Amino acid sequence: MRLVVAKVLCLLAAWLLVLAASLLPLKILQADSDKTPCSRKLLTLCNAFGGGIFLATCFNILLPAVREQLAEVLKQANIPMDYPLAETLVMLGFFLPLFVEQLLLSLQKKKPSFIALESFSAGSDVGSDSEGDSPFVSPQPQGLQQHSLHLLGLLLALCTHSVCQGLALGLQEEEGKVLSLFLGIAIQETLLAVVLGISMAKNSVALKDGAKVAVILSLMSPLGISIGMGMESRQPAASSIISLLLQGLTGGTFLFLTFFEVLAKELQEKQDHLLKLLCLLLGYTALAGLAL
């Protein structure tokens, strides 16, 4: 009974933390984002910081977790394998959103969301800083259905990651480990939720639409915890396989977001390259330290 109560309290705490962490950056940064160049610079640096968090999530948290779960599943099934299946799964998660994005953009006859090859050629329009011509920046708040594919991909990746984290907590059968596991998950989820809020502010998402996105994300960890509590001691092998597949694909999606949506966009601009790379490193260090 105490174990169930502890998990329910973790469920409620996870919901509140993620909801607040998603909305606060949007509320604070969006309120001043169009007023001064300093505010716009802060948004770009925060975006680079988020890219570092994505890298750490992929390489320091998700990939080791997929390797560990995969080794356990193969051991239980008595299947010897030397092939780097975990890395292949992550790369599948990298290529899948790239393919889907380019397919949708081709159908809609829009520009891709990464730096086009012609932007590197002489006489190109890379030097233009007009936000009206940029495929990345939306100068005015828009409806939720008109937001960039980047934001939708980010939300999907974060939701999948949150469900997997909640699932791990819900399946935990030792009361003493529930709190320590929750603390680690809470820090990770809070940082990622902050990145989502920064991304929404960067894309000029209206507060009303941002609240919808934040509510959706905040419900994912409780959903994972609930599913884990329902699956506890039932078909653990199946839950492990589902978890490692989702985490592998999510890790690849974070990798895609880092290189094609964060770095490509921020390094396309002509100023503050070194400062952005420093923020990228700080973001990576902030989350990588949790894996120690």
CB distance 93 to 253 below 8 Å: yes
pLDDT tier at 122 (50, 70, 90 boundaries)?
Answer: very low
Q: What CA–CA distance (Å, rounded) separates 80 from 157?
A: 31
Query: Is pLDDT above 80 for 90?
Result: yes
pLDDT tier at 175 (50, 70, 90 boundaries)?
Answer: confident
Of the chain, the percentage scoring pLDDT greater than 90 comes to 22
Three-class secondary structure of residue 168 per DSSP = helix
pLDDT tier at 277 (50, 70, 90 boundaries)?
Answer: very high
Query: Is pLDDT above 60 for 146?
Result: no
Query: Is pLDDT above 80 for 64?
Result: yes
pLDDT tier at 34 (50, 70, 90 boundaries)?
Answer: low
Written as one string, the DSSP assignment of 97-145 is: HHHHHHHHHHHHT---SS--GGGGSTT-STT---GGG-SS--SS---GG
Q: Which two tokens stand for residue 257?
A: 């977001």
Rounded to two decimals, the pTM is 0.75
Closest listed residue to residue 15, CA positions, set 205, 240, 182, 204: 182
Average pLDDT over residues 73-92: 91
The 10s digit of each residue's pLDDT in 46-56 is: 889 999 999 99
Instruction: Determine which of 35-39, 123-127, 165-169, 194-198 has the lowest per-residue pLDDT on average.
Output: 123-127
Neighbours of 73 (CB within 10 A): 16
Query: Is pLDDT above 70 for 235?
Result: no
Q: What CA–CA distance (Å, rounded) separates 157 from 152?
A: 9
Q: What angle do CA 62, 65, 70 make, to 5 degrees?
A: 125
Q: What is the mean pLDDT of the chain?
A: 79
Neighbours of 126 (CB within 10 A): 15
